[in-house]
Amino acid sequence: MNRASRRVASPRAVNIEDLRRLAKKRMPRVVFEFLDGAAEDETTLAANRSAFENYTFRPRHAVAFAHCDMRTRALGADVSFPALLAPVGCSRVMHHEGEIGIARAAGAAGTLYILPTASGHLIEDVKAAASGPLWYQLYLIGGRPAAEAVIERAWNAGFSALVVTIDTCVAGMRERDFRNGMKELASSPPLAKIPYLPQLLARPRWLANFFLDGGSPTLPNIIVPGQGPVPLLDVGAALARSAVTWDDFSWLRKSWPGPIVVKGVLTAEDARRSVDLGAAAVVVSNHGGRQLDSSPATLDVLPEVVEAVGNQVEVLMDGGIRRGSDIVKAICLGARAVLIGRAYAYGLGAAGTAGVARALEILRADVERTLRLLGCSSVAALDRSYLNAKRKDF
């Protein structure tokens, strides 16, 4: 474990914001703001966080119990607490350990990891590093032939669910990336890169690890027939050419033998359609505010989706999770579990595997402390009776 990992693993990183600040110090600005930023005015990014402030707790005091049961199940997979690791693309650019380090940390924490299509490591290598369950997230980059090949590989490797993201017909307008020279640094002629090079040179450790790891990676799991692996730089354009539609789900059901999760649901209508097309779970998600700005906060939409699907499928949610109390509020409103993205990715950027492990350790301790202070002995017992709402529509 290197010196940075030891620092992050220490108690001095006491919350997710501490990890965020460390990541900002250790990654080039262009990489940090790719992770940290969102679309347009970033109103949805802010709304995801502020939505949790609309609810306060209703604790039961003078209650004590020896054991606090934080376990839950997600599509049959046992997890130690109700936080799953969302697919975060380009993780290998944030830290050279990338998806392999994330999978290791998730397994050690007793939870599951969803490997993104935009992974810099091979499916088989991530599976070999993992000790916990894995799901695979699918974009149709490269079209159906490329998708069929990677789906088959994921199933053969032992991935237990397919997560289909439906909110990326085009990439959102992430303005920080333009200001920081993401395009120029990635693909422009050498002279166009010069104004942006100081931010890379300011992070020599990251830069050294980046080049020792081979520089800008490809997407090794997406093999386009006759072309080979898709370059990481082509992801935005590839998404625009390969949007997922509802018509794709009959083909997906034939191609993938296991359960399918639909990610990107923000309305009761889309939730019910997902159920009708055979989904086993839906994820209430606005892509962390990175796609359509002015989309609603996911916590605000969660009750609508839960009511729409009833007990037919499992409901997960993501967006704005930074504390264990956020996780508890989402469970009270009907989520089976939450997906965390930036919360663990800040840890990855700060110190690789050790940083991800610290993020999970922080959130797990937060959840247990919150349950004990609520007087609730298990995640399974959480419901709306543990919340007050500041809004009138609760």
Residues annotated as part of the active site: 287
- Rounded Cα distance between 297 and 289, Å, is 9
- Beta strands 260-265; 281-284: pairing state: parallel
Tokens 């609760």 belong to residue: 394
Identify the CA nearest to 233 among candidates 26, 24, 89, 27.
89
Record the tokens describing residue 112, joined without a space.
């599951």
Question: What DSSP string runs through 145-189?
Answer: HHHHHHHHHHHHHT---EEEE-S-SS----HHHHHTTHHHHHHS-
Terminal Cα distance for the chain, rounded: 48
Phi, psi angles (nearest 5°) of residue 107: -60, -45
| Residue 173: half-sphere exposure toward Cβ, Cα within 13 Å | 6
H helix or E strand, kind and range, residue 370: helix 342-374
Identify the CA nearest to 380 among candidates 84, 70, 64, 79.
70
